[in-house]
Structure 1
Amino acid sequence: MRIDLHSHSDVSDGTRPPAEVVRRARANGLDVLALTDHDTAGGWDEAIAALPDGLTLVPGIELSCQEDGRSLHMLGYLFDPSDPELAAELARIRDDRVVRARAMVDRLRDLGVDVTWEQVRALARGEAVGRPHIARAMVDAGAVRTADEAFGPRWIAQGGRAYAERYALDPERAIRLVRSAGGVCVLAHPRARRRGYVFADEVIERLAAAGLAGIEVDHPDHDARDRADLRGLAASLGLAVTGSSDDHGAPTGDRLGAETTAPGDYESLIAVGPDRVRKSR
């Protein structure tokens, strides 16, 4: 069984519609896929309606959190999206994404970059406008050659000239919210050094005490040493180990299935709500 527990559609910052994401997942030999768009469950219905034969969908989300002034991402699975407290927080995060993106566009224009809010909004088909949409607009405007360059310290990286802060959840509160809504949480790419998502063992231990269920260990941005260290930490804390592509479509090379989760770890995670996984009809 091939299981990928982290992917994105164009409802957030991916480039493929949810229906195409699930079709590509099955074509790439996956048996289980989690759709985890940033701060929104808006792609679930389309993905479920388009499920190809033989593919199981795990409804999920990638929550924007903040730890000690730095971005931390939390994967939530199998929760009830209508839970009032969680839904209110997601709406607040999405609303602030718009405020932040507008501020970043204004700063870029002050720096002489010919991008507009209309361009950025057009690139964000869904509710969760983010920095990848701004980066793509910068490429289209000829200000940078690649999206990676846009994410450099001169531009929209944290601390960059056009960077703006935004509202994000405390990670322990995020875990409580997802658990209260009937779901389960996994810490996303905690050693993605290239992107600055590097969190010490002590942080992960604290989150485990708050109810974290797993660590995303096998991720394209993790090297062999970090994978080994995280696998050992997960074992010591009794946490599931997941493997995921974190596919965003074209920007990440359509890599669905590039990393996978062992069936035993998958089963331990979905035990909180096995009736919420979705299979093709």
Structure 2
Amino acid sequence: MNIDLHLHTNNSDGDDSTKEIIQKAKDLDIGLISITDHDTVNAYDDLRKIDTTGIKIIPAVELSCAYESEMRDILGYNIDIEKMRKILKSLESKEGDIKREKELLTEYIDVFRKNGIIIDEGLEIEDGEKNEGYKKTIISALGHEENIKKYPSLMNPSAFFWDNCANKKSNFYVDESRFFKTIKQTIDIIHEADGMAFFAHPCIHHMEHERVTKMLDCARSTGLDGVEVLHAKHSIEDRKFLIDYANKHNLYKSGGSDYHGSPKPDIKILTGRGDLKVEYDLIKDWVENIK
């Protein structure tokens, strides 16, 4: 069976519609998927109007959290969609969201300009959607050819964000994590929605394995259920390390491409960067308990 348990739609930061994701899953004969949009479950509303015959879908979400002043993600699998929707709704604050993105927009403009990148005047936050401050800044930067010549990596905004803006070692670092909940609070939210909490892609954050171990130990002490061991950006060494860690601590394992479409053009659905293969045996100990 072909499996991909980490997919994003245009309900968050992917650019494929839910219908397009389902069609691609059918075209690739994927029998088991999870749509794991960031901090929203709206894709599951779309699914009510889409023919998903032949595909088993594990309801899921990916929630942002903070660890040592850096952004991290926890995947919630087999969640109760309506419970999660109510929880996320209770956490919303239009006024707070706009305030947050205005602060971040100012910081991103300042950081980019300090690094010699031209940013237009007059950028403003409109509705406070997540990442609006970064998106406004990067779009402005991409509008100037000299910026791209100086920093070609700007052409992949998602990778540039994670490699630079979310990386404390980078001159482009902006601390968005101060606006997110702790790992424990995030795991508690997933459990409140009757889900299982899996640490998403632990090895993509420029951390040596010793520090990843400490991060996972922290999450495990607050109720972590599993780890995403297979991911498009995990190396062979990362995968072995995470599988060994999960086995040692009796954690469930998951895997997926983290497909977004054009925002992450190097990552393909199902196969990631070409060598991703999630075997059913890896996940059957928890998937077989899902009705």
**TM-score where L is the length of structure 2:** 0.77
1:250 aligned counterpart, secondary structure:
coil
Trace 1:208-219 onto structure 2 (pairs within 5 A).
Answer: 208-219=220-231
Which residue of structure 1 aligns with residue 174 of structure 2? 163
Which residue of structure 2 aligns with residue 16 of structure 1? 16
1:138 Cα deviation after fit:
3.9
* Alpha-carbon distance in 1 for matches of 2:2, 2:133: 31
Q: For residues 30-78 of structure 1, what are the alpha-carbon distances to aligned partners after superposition, in whole Å with 9 as ceiling and x for unaligned?
A: 1111101111112211134324331122221111011122212100022
Which residue of structure 2 aligns with residue 186 of structure 1? 198
* Alpha-carbon distance in 1 for matches of 2:222, 2:166: 32
Q: For residues 99-135 of structure 1, what are the alpha-carbon distances to aligned partners after superposition, in whole Å with 9 as ceiling and x for unaligned?
A: 44333333455534128347x87xx9xx644577447
Q: Which moved more, 1:35-44 or 1:263-272?
A: 263-272
The change in CA–CA distance for 1:150 and 1:182 in structure 2 (over 3 A counts) is closer
* Alpha-carbon distance in 1 for matches of 2:75, 2:196: 8
Decide which of 202, 223, 237 is 2:214's aligned counterpart: 202
The aligned amino acid for 1:141 is G
Q: For residues 243-262 of structure 1, what are the alpha-carbon distances to aligned partners after superposition, in whole Å with 9 as ceiling and x for unaligned?
A: 21000112323611013433
Structure 1 gaps of 5+ residues are 276-281
Which residue of structure 1 aligns with residue 106 of structure 2? 106
Alignment length (residue pairs): 266
Which residue of structure 2 aligns with residue 255 of structure 1? 268
Q: For residues 127-167 of structure 1, what are the alpha-carbon distances to aligned partners after superposition, in whole Å with 9 as ceiling and x for unaligned?
A: 644577447524642344412446664x6755655735242
Q: For residues 167-223 of structure 1, what are the alpha-carbon distances to aligned partners after superposition, in whole Å with 9 as ceiling and x for unaligned?
A: 2121122222211221111110101145x6975213323423433221111111111
1:240 Cα deviation after fit:
1.9
The aligned amino acid for 1:103 is E
2:92 aligned counterpart, secondary structure:
helix
Trace 1:239-254 onto structure 2 (pairs within 5 A).
Answer: 239-253=251-265
The change in CA–CA distance for 1:109 and 1:173 in structure 2 (over 3 A counts) is closer
2:58 aligned counterpart, secondary structure:
strand
Which residue of structure 2 aligns with residue 279 of structure 1? none
Which residue of structure 1 aligns with residue 187 of structure 2? 175
| Contact preservation (8 Å) 1:40, 1:128 | no
The aligned amino acid for 1:213 is D
| Contact preservation (8 Å) 2:198, 2:224 | yes
Which residue of structure 2 aligns with residue 269 of structure 1? 286
RMSD between superposed Cα atoms in Å: 3.2
Which residue of structure 2 aligns with residue 141 of structure 1? 143
* Alpha-carbon distance in 2 for matches of 1:71, 1:197: 16
Q: Which has the higher contact order (CA 8 A, sep 6+)?
A: 1
* Alpha-carbon distance in 2 for matches of 1:129, 1:211: 28
* Alpha-carbon distance in 2 for matches of 1:262, 1:132: 36
| Contact preservation (8 Å) 2:10, 2:16 | yes
* Alpha-carbon distance in 2 for matches of 1:197, 1:188: 16
| Contact preservation (8 Å) 2:7, 2:260 | yes
* Alpha-carbon distance in 1 for matches of 2:205, 2:175: 21
